[in-house]
A and B are shown apart, each in its own frame.
Chain A
Amino acid sequence: MTTELQSGTWVNSKPPAPAQKPPRSEVGVLGWLRANLFSSVANSILSLLTLLFVYYVVSGLAGWLLTAYWEPVWANRKIFAVGPYPIDQVWQPAVVLLVVSLLFGVSAGRWGSIMRNLAIGLGALLGVLALVPLGMQAQLLMAGALALIVVGYLAGLKMPLRSSWLVWAWVLSLPFTFIMLKGGVEMPAIGLVWSFAPFVDSALFGGLMVTMLLAVVGIAMSFPLGVLLALGRRSSLPVIKGFCVGYIELIRGVPLITLLFMGATMLPLFLPDNWGNPSALIRVMVAITLFSAAYLAENVRGGLQAIPKGQYEAADAVGLSGFDKLRFIILPQALTKVIPAIVGQFIGLFKDTSLASLVGLLELVGIGKAVIQQPEWLGTPGGVAREVYLFIAVVFFIFSFGMSTASRQLEKQLNVDKR
């Protein structure tokens, strides 16, 4: 059916045109194959070569996976979890896990939405681990943590809890974690020494526990610092602006690994003499925080620049003070705009914690390297590096994927229902 080309005025006098089926060759599996993979000779050759390549990769990988030797990972599951932490004191990190699970549960009940999804993700992970025959105590711990998420969730739903208390609980959970893992407080410089269990040297912290510790501390500390630096960079006071620009550019011009090495050698120079040399764990935390803050500041600055001048003027015109203007008008909008960038930055930070293995920290990769060297596996043909590193990669992937899923949700939630 053709339509006459019209010039001048014209009225369509025919009845409404019925819908027709699309051309035959585009439909169905065969149609799709012909249109996309085998539309010409060259195209067909490329398709066949690609298929061959995919076949070799997949069959090679599958063949190895079927014969892979997982004993080194399995036998060292405690080491991968907490490193060389004293076995009779493992209840201390266990308490931390339980408390954090409870906090996740309560937050999920109280705040819902993204916290609920995070709690569900964590709960699912704990549930799976509880079913794996890790050992009686470990399985009970996982099941207990899962139960606390559920209990916390119900409590958060029912109890009229103030949001600010919950925020404080999260803030306090960080020092609580340190005291718990350490077995007390050991700060002789300010005359504070108290313990409820034998002190555990932080050199004995390891595994996923340290990876998590580095990531959480890095994120929690670098976020406020990065926001301050971003605001400082836009300050009208030349001293503040100069300092922030200098700091950001200096840090961004240096690889993280050099900062880690410098932290090991130079941090003591900036501290009072009687503080002694902080532990490797603290030095790495400081280095990661300082590094991440500089990048975060640039991300936040991008958000700040996207706020129209009119928003500042409107906030001024209704008489808001500078601090209230930032708190209620500018930062909420600026940060929402850069959530994907910020979360991307945090995922990067999470993975960068693996560099800490190069300065001797026994986080996941450090543990992996140690496991590979264990004498038990020396006779294994081909070594055990492949299995160990694949396992570590999967662990990193699970948490990174969780973070990026959460970020997409957060973004949707903050933007969609407003426009």
Chain B
Amino acid sequence: MAGHALQEDIIVCRDVNKWYGDFHALKNVSLAVKRQEVVVIIGPSGSGKSTFIRTINRLEEHQSGDITVDGIPLTRDVRNIEAIRMETGMVFQQFNLFPHLTVLENITLAPIHVRKRKKQEAQAHAMELLERVQIPEQAQKYPGQLSGGQQQRVAIARALAMKPQIMLFDEPTSALDPEMIREVLEVMEGLALEGMTMVVVTHEMGFARGVADRIVFMDSGEIVEIGTPDTFYSNPQHDRTKLFLQQILQ
């Protein structure tokens, strides 16, 4: 999947800074993601990787720096924020499905009320997406009746239902039992193969190695190193990267 040199940048973050009170959570983070690129962000806990991915669709507000998504500048303007959110799907560590709605209603809610699609049309599309994540038979169930892996696949289908340009994954497999991680990663690999632009925060080194175009290593709120999977693992440059890789790969 390498070689997107000709593609334009779809996400541009320049000198993004964020503070929680006095705590400097993001320090001059700058990163550009090209259309159809898969970028995996890794780093120790508390390194700011989740915070960073959540600033891209304004679940967290940054205090300085510029973020542009698909040509739309991320400002305080609600219209811009909503436009960006329509272009970016997000998958959470805790799934965050709507527990009072069926799987089908979870997926069709936003297309019907945000994209103003007809109900039948939205349901047909939702069923296609459920086929794709291989759980069409669960359409009428409630999230609480599904396993974690199934819930996360519904969450992916829900995000895809808005036909986003970009998918953000915030530790999508961290809350799953080990035997369910595979089924979620397979869906994500399929998405990457189809050319979806993806930014993924994860601890799954196998996924990072096999699917990512670039790997970003963050530590204490800043980007320490960016590399391609081959060079990143075999020949890390920075001491902090080396230390981190040593700790997780032994």
Please tell me the number of chain A residues within 8 Å of chain B, measured between CB atoms.
Answer: 22
Residues of A close to B88: CB separation below 8 A: 317
Q: Identify the interface centre among A317, A328, A417, A418: most chain B CB within 10 Å of its CB.
A: A317
B49 within 8 A of A: no
B100–A318 CB distance below 8 A: no
B96–A320 CB distance below 8 A: no
Q: Identify the interface centre among B89, B92, B113, B159: most chain A CB within 10 Å of its CB.
A: B113
B100–A418 CB distance below 8 A: yes
A318–B162 CB distance below 8 A: yes
Task: Give complex CA distance A329, B88 in Å.
Answer: 20
Residues of A close to B92: CB separation below 8 A: 310, 313-314, 317
Count A-B contacts at CB 8 Å.
70
B18 within 8 A of A: no
Task: Give complex CA distance A313, B170 in Å.
Answer: 12
Residues of A close to B59: CB separation below 8 A: 313, 316-317
Task: Give complex CA distance A316, B162 in Å.
Answer: 13
Task: Give complex CA distance A316, B92 in Å.
Answer: 12
B82–A418 CB distance below 8 A: no
Task: Give complex CA distance A318, B164 in Å.
Answer: 10
Task: Give complex CA distance A360, B142 in Å.
Answer: 52
Residues of B close to A414: CB separation below 8 A: 100
Residues of B close to A417: CB separation below 8 A: 142
Closest to A329 in B: B98
Name A309-326 residues within 8 Å CB distance of B. Answer: 310-311, 313-321, 324
Residues of A close to B82: CB separation below 8 A: 319, 321
A319–B98 CB distance below 8 A: no
Could you give, for residues 25-59 of chain B, a 1 whenever the CB lies within 8 Å of some chain A CB and a 0 otherwise? 00000000000000000000000000000000111
B109–A328 CB distance below 8 A: yes
Residues of A close to B99: CB separation below 8 A: 333, 418
B98–A311 CB distance below 8 A: yes
B158–A318 CB distance below 8 A: yes
B94 within 8 A of A: yes
Residues of B close to A418: CB separation below 8 A: 99-100, 142, 144-145
Task: Give complex CA distance A241, B59 in Å.
Answer: 23
Q: A310-B92, A329-B98 are in contact. Are A317 and B57 (CB under 8 A)?
A: yes
Task: Give complex CA distance A344, B113 in Å.
Answer: 34
Interface size class of B (residues with CB under 8 A): 20 to 34
Residues of B close to A311: CB separation below 8 A: 96, 98
A336 within 8 A of B: yes
Could you give, for residues 319-361 of chain A, a 1 whenever the CB lies within 8 Å of some chain B CB and a 0 otherwise? 1110010001100110010000000000000000000000000
A14 within 8 A of B: no
A419 within 8 A of B: yes
B85–A317 CB distance below 8 A: yes
B113–A317 CB distance below 8 A: no
Task: Give complex CA distance A319, B89 in Å.
Answer: 9
B196 to chain A: closest CB distance in Å? 16
B211 within 8 A of A: no
A68 to chain B: closest CB distance in Å? 50
B135 within 8 A of A: no
Query: CB < 8 Å: which of A310, A313, A318 contacts B114?
Result: A318
Query: CB < 8 Å: which of B94, B98, B145 contacts A419?
Result: B145
A319–B144 CB distance below 8 A: no
A52 to chain B: closest CB distance in Å? 52
B94–A318 CB distance below 8 A: no
Q: Identify the interface centre among B97, B109, B145: most chain A CB within 10 Å of its CB.
A: B109
B90 within 8 A of A: yes
B86 within 8 A of A: yes
Query: CB < 8 Å: which of B110, B142, B145 contacts A318?
Result: B110
A161 to chain B: closest CB distance in Å? 19
Name B78-106 residues within 8 Å CB distance of A. Answer: 82, 85-86, 88-90, 92, 94, 96-101
Closest to B161 in A: A318
B142–A319 CB distance below 8 A: no
Q: A418-B142, A419-B144 are in contact. Are A314 and B98 (CB under 8 A)?
A: yes
Query: CB < 8 Å: which of B96, B101, B114, B145 contacts A319?
Result: B114
B162–A310 CB distance below 8 A: no
Residues of A close to B110: CB separation below 8 A: 318-320
B96–A318 CB distance below 8 A: no
Query: CB < 8 Å: which of A308, A317, A318 contacts B109?
Result: A318
Task: Give complex CA distance A156, B114 in Å.
Answer: 33
Task: Give complex CA distance A310, B88 in Å.
Answer: 17
Residues of B close to A315: CB separation below 8 A: 98
Residues of A close to B57: CB separation below 8 A: 316-317
A110 to chain B: closest CB distance in Å? 20
Query: CB < 8 Å: which of A313, A319, A333 contacts B100?
Result: A333
Query: CB < 8 Å: which of A314, A320, A332, A336 contacts B113?
Result: A320
A82 to chain B: closest CB distance in Å? 42
A317–B159 CB distance below 8 A: yes
Could you give, for residues 109-127 of chain B, a 1 whenever the CB lies within 8 Å of some chain A CB and a 0 otherwise? 1100110000000000000
Given A308-B94, A314-B96, 10 other A-B contacts at CB below 8 A?
A: A313-B59, A313-B92, A314-B90, A317-B89, A319-B110, A328-B109, A329-B98, A333-B100, A417-B142, A418-B100
Q: List 21 A–B pairs whose Cβ atoms lie within 8 Å, in order of A's numbering.
A: A311-B96, A313-B59, A316-B59, A317-B57, A317-B85, A317-B88, A317-B92, A319-B82, A319-B110, A319-B162, A320-B110, A320-B113, A321-B114, A324-B114, A328-B98, A328-B101, A329-B98, A333-B98, A418-B144, A419-B142, A419-B144
Footprint of B on A, CB under 8 Å? 308, 310-311, 313-321, 324, 328-329, 332-333, 336, 414, 417-419
3 shortest A-B CB distances, which residue pairs?
Answer: A314-B96, A318-B110, A310-B96
